[in-house]
Amino acid sequence: MFNARSAKARRICEFYAMMYQMYQPRAFCYRYALPDVMTRESSLSIQSIAEHSYLVAQLAPVVYAEFRTMFKDPNVPLLSLMLYGHIHDTPEAITGDSAPIDKMPRADKHSAEAAAIQQIYGGLEIFEEIKKEFDRYEARVDYATQIVKMHDALELVLYTQLCVRNGVGLLTMVADTDRPEYRIILDSGEKQPIDPRTYEEISEYFNPDGTVKLDGAVVKHESPYILPVSRIMYDHGLAWLQNAFGADALELVEVYQIVSAEAAVFPFEEYNLANLKPVFAP
Protein backbone atom coordinates (compact mmCIF):
# COMPACT_ATOMS: atom_id res chain seq x y z
CA MET A 1 0.00 0.00 0.00
CA PHE A 2 2.76 2.42 0.95
CA ASN A 3 4.71 1.72 -2.25
CA ALA A 4 1.61 2.23 -4.41
CA ARG A 5 0.81 5.51 -2.71
CA SER A 6 4.42 6.63 -2.98
CA ALA A 7 4.39 5.85 -6.69
CA LYS A 8 1.24 7.94 -7.16
CA ALA A 9 2.75 10.79 -5.16
CA ARG A 10 5.96 10.62 -7.18
CA ARG A 11 3.98 10.73 -10.43
CA ILE A 12 2.11 13.78 -9.16
CA CYS A 13 5.43 15.48 -8.40
CA GLU A 14 6.62 14.62 -11.90
CA PHE A 15 3.38 16.04 -13.33
CA TYR A 16 3.85 19.28 -11.36
CA ALA A 17 7.47 19.60 -12.52
CA MET A 18 6.46 19.18 -16.15
CA MET A 19 3.59 21.65 -15.83
CA TYR A 20 5.93 24.18 -14.23
CA GLN A 21 7.82 24.18 -17.52
CA MET A 22 4.89 26.18 -18.91
CA TYR A 23 6.63 29.21 -17.39
CA GLN A 24 8.95 29.26 -20.39
CA PRO A 25 8.39 32.35 -22.60
CA ARG A 26 6.06 32.35 -25.57
CA ALA A 27 7.62 32.20 -29.03
CA PHE A 28 6.65 35.70 -30.16
CA CYS A 29 8.54 37.21 -27.20
CA TYR A 30 11.74 35.67 -28.57
CA ARG A 31 10.97 36.51 -32.19
CA TYR A 32 10.33 40.16 -31.41
CA ALA A 33 12.96 40.46 -28.69
CA LEU A 34 10.49 41.85 -26.18
CA PRO A 35 12.54 42.88 -23.15
CA ASP A 36 11.87 41.62 -19.65
CA VAL A 37 11.13 44.82 -17.77
CA MET A 38 10.32 43.36 -14.37
CA THR A 39 13.61 44.83 -13.21
CA ARG A 40 12.11 48.30 -13.71
CA GLU A 41 9.42 47.62 -11.09
CA SER A 42 6.89 47.13 -13.83
CA SER A 43 3.96 44.78 -14.27
CA LEU A 44 5.38 43.73 -17.61
CA SER A 45 7.57 40.74 -18.27
CA ILE A 46 8.17 38.32 -21.08
CA GLN A 47 4.86 36.48 -21.13
CA SER A 48 5.03 32.79 -20.33
CA ILE A 49 2.88 30.03 -21.79
CA ALA A 50 1.35 29.53 -18.32
CA GLU A 51 0.38 33.19 -17.98
CA HIS A 52 -1.20 33.19 -21.43
CA SER A 53 -3.21 30.05 -20.69
CA TYR A 54 -4.43 31.42 -17.37
CA LEU A 55 -5.49 34.70 -18.95
CA VAL A 56 -7.34 32.98 -21.80
CA ALA A 57 -9.17 30.86 -19.21
CA GLN A 58 -10.18 34.02 -17.33
CA LEU A 59 -10.94 36.13 -20.38
CA ALA A 60 -13.11 33.74 -22.38
CA PRO A 61 -16.01 33.30 -19.92
CA VAL A 62 -16.02 37.01 -19.03
CA VAL A 63 -16.16 38.20 -22.65
CA TYR A 64 -18.70 35.54 -23.56
CA ALA A 65 -20.98 36.49 -20.65
CA GLU A 66 -20.74 40.23 -21.43
CA PHE A 67 -21.53 39.73 -25.13
CA ARG A 68 -23.75 36.67 -24.70
CA THR A 69 -26.51 38.03 -26.94
CA MET A 70 -24.07 38.35 -29.84
CA PHE A 71 -23.06 34.68 -29.76
CA LYS A 72 -25.16 32.21 -31.70
CA ASP A 73 -25.35 29.86 -28.70
CA PRO A 74 -26.18 31.75 -25.49
CA ASN A 75 -26.00 28.62 -23.33
CA VAL A 76 -22.34 27.61 -23.46
CA PRO A 77 -21.24 26.52 -19.94
CA LEU A 78 -18.78 29.07 -18.58
CA LEU A 79 -16.71 26.36 -16.90
CA SER A 80 -16.15 24.65 -20.25
CA LEU A 81 -14.62 27.87 -21.56
CA MET A 82 -12.33 28.01 -18.53
CA LEU A 83 -11.32 24.37 -18.98
CA TYR A 84 -10.42 24.77 -22.65
CA GLY A 85 -8.59 27.98 -21.86
CA HIS A 86 -6.45 26.25 -19.25
CA ILE A 87 -5.56 23.19 -21.34
CA HIS A 88 -5.31 24.64 -24.84
CA ASP A 89 -1.51 25.09 -24.72
CA THR A 90 -0.66 22.39 -22.17
CA PRO A 91 1.53 20.37 -24.62
CA GLU A 92 3.84 23.38 -24.87
CA ALA A 93 5.16 22.52 -21.41
CA ILE A 94 7.09 19.83 -23.32
CA THR A 95 7.20 21.05 -26.92
CA GLY A 96 7.71 24.75 -26.24
CA ASP A 97 5.76 27.37 -28.15
CA SER A 98 5.92 27.87 -31.90
CA ALA A 99 4.91 30.75 -34.13
CA PRO A 100 3.51 30.83 -37.69
CA ILE A 101 6.85 32.12 -38.97
CA ASP A 102 8.43 28.84 -37.83
CA LYS A 103 6.39 27.20 -40.62
CA MET A 104 6.09 23.90 -38.79
CA PRO A 105 4.01 21.35 -40.74
CA ARG A 106 0.61 20.99 -39.09
CA ALA A 107 0.88 17.19 -38.96
CA ASP A 108 4.25 17.41 -37.16
CA LYS A 109 2.80 19.88 -34.66
CA HIS A 110 -0.18 17.65 -33.89
CA SER A 111 2.05 14.61 -33.52
CA ALA A 112 4.37 16.42 -31.09
CA GLU A 113 1.43 17.73 -29.06
CA ALA A 114 -0.18 14.29 -28.81
CA ALA A 115 3.10 12.85 -27.55
CA ALA A 116 3.38 15.70 -25.02
CA ILE A 117 -0.13 15.06 -23.64
CA GLN A 118 0.84 11.41 -23.23
CA GLN A 119 4.07 12.37 -21.46
CA ILE A 120 2.38 14.84 -19.11
CA TYR A 121 -0.77 12.90 -18.21
CA GLY A 122 0.09 9.29 -19.10
CA GLY A 123 -0.43 6.92 -16.17
CA LEU A 124 -2.66 9.36 -14.32
CA GLU A 125 -6.32 8.60 -13.74
CA ILE A 126 -7.30 11.82 -15.49
CA PHE A 127 -5.40 11.06 -18.71
CA GLU A 128 -8.28 9.83 -20.89
CA GLU A 129 -10.57 12.70 -19.90
CA ILE A 130 -7.92 15.37 -20.53
CA LYS A 131 -6.92 13.77 -23.84
CA LYS A 132 -10.56 13.73 -24.97
CA GLU A 133 -11.06 17.42 -24.12
CA PHE A 134 -7.75 18.47 -25.67
CA ASP A 135 -8.58 16.59 -28.87
CA ARG A 136 -11.96 18.32 -28.93
CA TYR A 137 -10.27 21.69 -28.63
CA GLU A 138 -7.81 20.93 -31.41
CA ALA A 139 -10.61 19.73 -33.70
CA ARG A 140 -12.85 22.68 -32.74
CA VAL A 141 -15.81 20.31 -32.87
CA ASP A 142 -18.11 22.43 -30.72
CA TYR A 143 -18.87 26.09 -30.22
CA ALA A 144 -17.08 26.38 -26.88
CA THR A 145 -13.77 25.40 -28.48
CA GLN A 146 -14.27 27.97 -31.24
CA ILE A 147 -14.95 30.69 -28.67
CA VAL A 148 -11.78 29.84 -26.78
CA LYS A 149 -9.75 29.78 -29.99
CA MET A 150 -10.91 33.33 -30.68
CA HIS A 151 -9.78 34.34 -27.18
CA ASP A 152 -6.41 32.71 -27.79
CA ALA A 153 -5.90 35.36 -30.49
CA LEU A 154 -7.58 38.16 -28.54
CA GLU A 155 -5.39 37.69 -25.46
CA LEU A 156 -2.28 38.22 -27.59
CA VAL A 157 -3.70 41.52 -28.86
CA LEU A 158 -4.46 42.66 -25.32
CA TYR A 159 -1.06 41.64 -23.99
CA THR A 160 0.94 43.27 -26.77
CA GLN A 161 -1.16 46.44 -26.55
CA LEU A 162 -0.54 46.49 -22.79
CA CYS A 163 3.16 46.31 -23.65
CA VAL A 164 2.86 49.11 -26.21
CA ARG A 165 1.06 51.41 -23.76
CA ASN A 166 3.95 50.84 -21.37
CA GLY A 167 6.56 51.71 -24.00
CA VAL A 168 7.53 48.17 -24.98
CA GLY A 169 6.92 46.54 -28.36
CA LEU A 170 7.51 49.43 -30.77
CA LEU A 171 9.07 48.49 -34.10
CA THR A 172 10.94 50.67 -36.58
CA MET A 173 12.77 50.19 -39.87
CA VAL A 174 16.51 50.72 -40.25
CA ALA A 175 17.40 51.39 -43.88
CA ASP A 176 21.12 52.16 -43.54
CA THR A 177 22.13 48.56 -44.34
CA ASP A 178 22.24 46.51 -47.56
CA ARG A 179 18.56 45.71 -47.07
CA PRO A 180 15.95 47.08 -44.67
CA GLU A 181 16.11 45.69 -41.17
CA TYR A 182 13.61 45.99 -38.37
CA ARG A 183 14.38 46.72 -34.75
CA ILE A 184 12.48 47.00 -31.50
CA ILE A 185 12.91 50.28 -29.63
CA LEU A 186 13.94 49.98 -25.99
CA ASP A 187 13.06 52.61 -23.39
CA SER A 188 16.69 53.77 -23.57
CA GLY A 189 16.13 54.66 -27.22
CA GLU A 190 18.38 51.85 -28.38
CA LYS A 191 17.13 49.92 -31.41
CA GLN A 192 17.57 46.23 -30.67
CA PRO A 193 17.70 43.64 -33.48
CA ILE A 194 14.91 41.09 -33.73
CA ASP A 195 14.65 37.65 -35.32
CA PRO A 196 15.12 38.09 -39.11
CA ARG A 197 12.38 35.50 -39.65
CA THR A 198 9.90 38.20 -38.64
CA TYR A 199 10.99 40.49 -41.47
CA GLU A 200 8.65 38.95 -44.01
CA GLU A 201 5.55 39.64 -41.93
CA ILE A 202 6.77 43.10 -40.84
CA SER A 203 7.87 44.39 -44.24
CA GLU A 204 4.33 44.72 -45.57
CA TYR A 205 3.64 47.43 -42.99
CA PHE A 206 6.47 49.78 -44.05
CA ASN A 207 6.91 52.09 -47.01
CA PRO A 208 10.39 52.35 -48.58
CA ASP A 209 11.01 55.63 -46.71
CA GLY A 210 10.44 53.93 -43.35
CA THR A 211 6.96 55.31 -42.73
CA VAL A 212 4.24 52.93 -41.59
CA LYS A 213 1.27 52.10 -43.79
CA LEU A 214 -1.70 53.01 -41.65
CA ASP A 215 -4.56 52.19 -44.00
CA GLY A 216 -7.33 50.51 -42.06
CA ALA A 217 -5.32 50.46 -38.85
CA VAL A 218 -7.08 49.62 -35.62
CA VAL A 219 -3.86 49.98 -33.64
CA LYS A 220 -1.38 52.69 -34.59
CA HIS A 221 1.24 55.02 -33.12
CA GLU A 222 1.45 58.80 -33.26
CA SER A 223 4.85 58.57 -34.98
CA PRO A 224 4.63 57.62 -38.68
CA TYR A 225 7.92 55.72 -38.29
CA ILE A 226 6.81 53.39 -35.48
CA LEU A 227 4.76 50.21 -35.77
CA PRO A 228 3.23 48.78 -32.58
CA VAL A 229 3.72 45.02 -32.46
CA SER A 230 0.09 44.79 -31.32
CA ARG A 231 -0.98 45.91 -34.81
CA ILE A 232 0.71 42.85 -36.32
CA MET A 233 -0.85 40.54 -33.75
CA TYR A 234 -4.29 42.05 -34.37
CA ASP A 235 -4.03 41.57 -38.13
CA HIS A 236 -2.75 38.01 -37.76
CA GLY A 237 -5.55 37.08 -35.38
CA LEU A 238 -8.19 38.64 -37.61
CA ALA A 239 -6.91 36.85 -40.71
CA TRP A 240 -6.77 33.54 -38.87
CA LEU A 241 -10.32 33.86 -37.56
CA GLN A 242 -11.67 34.80 -40.97
CA ASN A 243 -9.88 31.89 -42.64
CA ALA A 244 -10.74 29.35 -39.93
CA PHE A 245 -14.41 30.15 -39.44
CA GLY A 246 -15.44 32.23 -42.45
CA ALA A 247 -19.12 33.11 -42.58
CA ASP A 248 -19.99 30.44 -40.02
CA ALA A 249 -18.83 32.50 -37.06
CA LEU A 250 -18.93 36.17 -38.00
CA GLU A 251 -19.91 37.01 -34.42
CA LEU A 252 -16.52 35.73 -33.18
CA VAL A 253 -14.77 38.11 -35.56
CA GLU A 254 -17.04 40.97 -34.51
CA VAL A 255 -16.42 40.49 -30.79
CA TYR A 256 -12.69 40.22 -31.49
CA GLN A 257 -12.80 43.53 -33.36
CA ILE A 258 -14.88 45.31 -30.70
CA VAL A 259 -12.56 44.41 -27.82
CA SER A 260 -9.41 45.02 -29.87
CA ALA A 261 -10.61 48.49 -30.88
CA GLU A 262 -11.14 49.45 -27.25
CA ALA A 263 -7.75 47.98 -26.30
CA ALA A 264 -6.13 50.35 -28.81
CA VAL A 265 -7.10 53.36 -26.66
CA PHE A 266 -7.35 51.81 -23.19
CA PRO A 267 -4.85 53.26 -20.62
CA PHE A 268 -3.18 49.96 -19.70
CA GLU A 269 -0.24 51.89 -18.25
CA GLU A 270 -2.42 53.00 -15.35
CA TYR A 271 -2.65 49.37 -14.23
CA ASN A 272 1.08 48.84 -14.07
CA LEU A 273 2.11 47.00 -10.90
CA ALA A 274 4.35 49.93 -10.06
CA ASN A 275 1.12 51.84 -9.28
CA LEU A 276 -0.53 49.02 -7.34
CA LYS A 277 -1.18 49.48 -3.64
CA PRO A 278 -2.11 45.97 -2.49
CA VAL A 279 -4.32 45.51 0.56
CA PHE A 280 -2.01 42.74 1.70
CA ALA A 281 1.34 44.39 1.15
CA PRO A 282 4.38 42.09 1.05
Is 275 a member of any domain?
Answer: no
Residues 223/210, Cβ–Cβ less than 8 Å? no
Q: CA 231, 228, 264 angle in degrees (round to 5)?
A: 60
pLDDT-based confidence at residue 217 (cuts at 50, 70, 90): low
Is 278 a member of any domain?
Answer: no
pLDDT-based confidence at residue 216 (cuts at 50, 70, 90): low
56: nearest Cα among 187, 157, 161: 157
User: Is pLDDT above 50 for 4?
Assistant: yes
Structure confidence at residue 180 (pLDDT): 84
The average confidence (pLDDT) of the chain is: 88
240 phi, psi to nearest 5 deg: -65, -45
Is 249 a member of any domain?
Answer: yes
Is 32 a member of any domain?
Answer: yes
Cα separation, 83 vs 147, in Å, equals 12
Residues 13/141, Cβ–Cβ less than 8 Å? no
Can you say how many angstroms the Cα of residue 69 is from the centroid of all Cα atoms in its chain?
Answer: 26
Is 273 a member of any domain?
Answer: no
User: Is pLDDT above 90 for 238?
Assistant: yes
Structure confidence at residue 40 (pLDDT): 41
Q: What 8-state DSSP symbol labels residue 184?
A: E
User: Is pLDDT above 70 for 25?
Assistant: yes
User: Taking residues 196-215, what's their average pLDDT?
Assistant: 85
pLDDT, one tens digit per residue, over 165-181 is: 888 889 999 876 677 88
Q: Cα dist. 83→130, 226, 280 in Å?
A: 10, 38, 29
pLDDT-based confidence at residue 68 (cuts at 50, 70, 90): very high
Is 8 a member of any domain?
Answer: yes
Structure confidence at residue 11 (pLDDT): 96
More confident residue, 33 or 41: 33
pLDDT, one tens digit per residue, over 88-124 is: 999 999 999 987 777 888 889 999 999 999 999 999 9
Cα separation, 220 vs 225, in Å, equals 10
More confident residue, 280 or 127: 127
Is 229 a member of any domain?
Answer: yes
User: Which range marks the domain in which residue 246 is found?
Assistant: 2-268
Can you say how many angstroms the Cα of residue 16 is from the centroid of all Cα atoms in its chain?
Answer: 22
* Domains in the chain, number: 1
Is 211 a member of any domain?
Answer: yes
Cα separation, 78 vs 70, in Å, equals 16
User: Is pLDDT above 90 for 134?
Assistant: yes
Cα separation, 38 vs 29, in Å, equals 14
226: nearest Cα among 239, 212, 240: 212
48: nearest Cα among 114, 96, 14, 113: 96
Q: What 8-state DSSP symbol labels residue 225?
A: T
CATH of residue 9's domain is 1.10.3210.10
Q: What 8-state DSSP symbol labels residue 44?
A: -
Cα separation, 134 vs 138, in Å, equals 6
Residues 237/153, Cβ–Cβ less than 8 Å? yes
